[in-house]
A = this chain, B = another copy of it.
């Protein structure tokens, strides 16, 4: 039924757990106990442990001396740093995409952008959010640098639970769309430096958006706090 050579419980478990983190099911700060996870997935501790070790190596979780594993809660300042790096990587993708994108890839970017427009006009933030990811990934792909694509995608995924919050910001969807339009034009015109600068500005977290980010961070972590307060 499923792939026969996918022998590797620990890999499948890593994907499952990572998915739970990325989607926010396991919020930052959540404790992960090996035995619980093992029972939950009906396996022994060993493959669970191996999955957790992989997740730790990529920074998704961290191990506290005697406290078990914990979903990494990224502090706001570090999150800004990560968005800065993300911005730079996207800028690089954009520069390369403007130089290297094939006709098919250009068309794919433009089409995804138009789909974003429909989602915007339908005032459907969820759909816009989904298409926004497709849009950015399309630009990554057009860079024709496999390593860059991997790195950018990984960081994109890492930041996913935090980016989702950004769209709640007032008018973000419209602003985002307008920025996309300019980016697409720059790529189509082959203007690498322009696309690069636009993408950097588009992704980076500046000014008031930083405050939004910080405040929305609080809605992610331990809900019990809100009960106390």
Interface 9-mer from A103-111, A141-149, A169-177, A208-216: A141-149
- The answer to whether A58 has its CB under 8 Å from any CB of chain B is yes
From residue A81, how far is it (CB to closest CB) to chain B in Å? Answer: 4
Q: Which residues of B contact A56 (CB under 8 A)?
A: 54
Q: DSSP majority for the A interface?
A: helix
In angstroms, Cα B78 to Cα A5, docked, is 26
The smallest beta-carbon distance between A156 and chain B, in angstroms, is: 14
Whether B147 lies near A82 (C-beta < 8 A) is yes
Hey, which chain B residues are within 8 Å of A151, CB to CB?
85
Contact B57 A148 (CB under 8 A): no
Asked if A92 CB lies within 8 Å of chain B CBs, one says yes
A34 — which chain B residues lie within 8 A by C-beta? none
CB pair A145–B54 under 8 Å, yes or no, is: no
* A88 CB-CB contact with B under 8 Å: yes
Q: A140 CB to closest chain B CB, in angstroms?
A: 12
Q: How far is the CB of A174 from chain B (nearest CB, A)?
A: 29
Size bracket, chain A contacts: 20 to 34
Q: Which of A47-94 touch B at CB < 8 Å?
A: 49-50, 53-54, 56-58, 65, 78, 81-82, 84-85, 88-89, 92
Q: Whose C-beta in chain B lies nearest to the C-beta of A85? A: B148
Q: How far is the CA of A58 from the CA of B56 in the complex (A)?
A: 11
Which of B49, B58, B92, B147 lies in contact with A57, CB distance below 8 A? B58
User: In the complex, what residue of chain B is closest to A196 when comparing beta carbons?
Assistant: B88
Neighbour of A148 across the interface among B10, B53, B81, CB < 8 A: B81
Give the docked Cα–Cα distance between A147 and B65 (Å): 23
| Bound Cα distance A148, B81 (Å) | 7
Q: How far is the CB of A56 from chain B (nearest CB, A)?
A: 8
Q: Is the CB of A78 within 8 A of B146?
A: yes
Partner of A145, one of B53, B81, B145, B148: B81
B81 touching A88, Cβ below 8 Å: no
Q: A147's contact among B50, B85, B92, B145, by CB below 8 Å, is which?
A: B85
The answer, among B5, B84, B148, for a CB contact under 8 Å with A84, is B148
Interface residues of A (CB under 8 A from B): 5, 10, 49-50, 53-54, 56-58, 65, 78, 81-82, 84-85, 88-89, 92, 145-148, 151
